[in-house]
Amino acid sequence: NAGVTQTPKFQVLKTGQSMTLQCAQDMNHNSMYWYRQDPGMGLRLIYYSASEGTTDKGEVPNGYNVSRLNKREFSLRLESAAPSQTSVYFCASSGRGGGRWTTFGSGTRLTVV
């Protein structure tokens, strides 16, 4: 099925460890996004890539890095995980027309202990 695929679905890290969250879309979308969602809060934008070769900070970029590897793939890296990064992470992609054409991945539940 076409869509956005995120891996892994669950992860437990120790404080200070690093990891990369992977995201791939097969809808030929130009724009891709990483959001985090904390309990009782909506999604907050971490980083985004308007098109292949570009990346920009969102609302909460501190402690994260991203790579737009190609048009399909957009990864999120935590270099030194902290308990404050415990959250659910969603990747999304969007094509021309945005809005209703935004597709979300199923999410990664990350716990940092």
Partner 1 sequence: EDKVVQSPLSLVVHEGDTVTLNCSYEVTNFRSLLWYKQEKKAPTFLFMLTSSGIEKKSGRLSSILDKKELFSILNITATQTGDSAVYLCAVETGTDSWGKLQFGAGTQVVVTP
The least distance separating partner 1 from the CB of residue 65, rounded to whole angstroms, comes to: 19
**Interaction between residue 14 and partner 1 (CB under 8 A):** no
The least distance separating partner 1 from the CB of residue 101, rounded to whole angstroms, comes to: 7
Is-contact 34 105, C-beta < 8 A?
no
Q: In the range 81-110, which residues lie near partner 1 by CB under 8 A?
A: 90, 92-102, 104-107
Cβ count near 12 (within 10 Å): 11
**Distance from C-alpha of 44 to C-alpha of 60, rounded to nearest angstrom:** 7
Specify the residue for token string 């940092």: 112
**Site for partner 1, rule CB under 8 A:** 30-31, 33, 35, 40-45, 48-51, 56, 59, 90, 92-102, 104-107
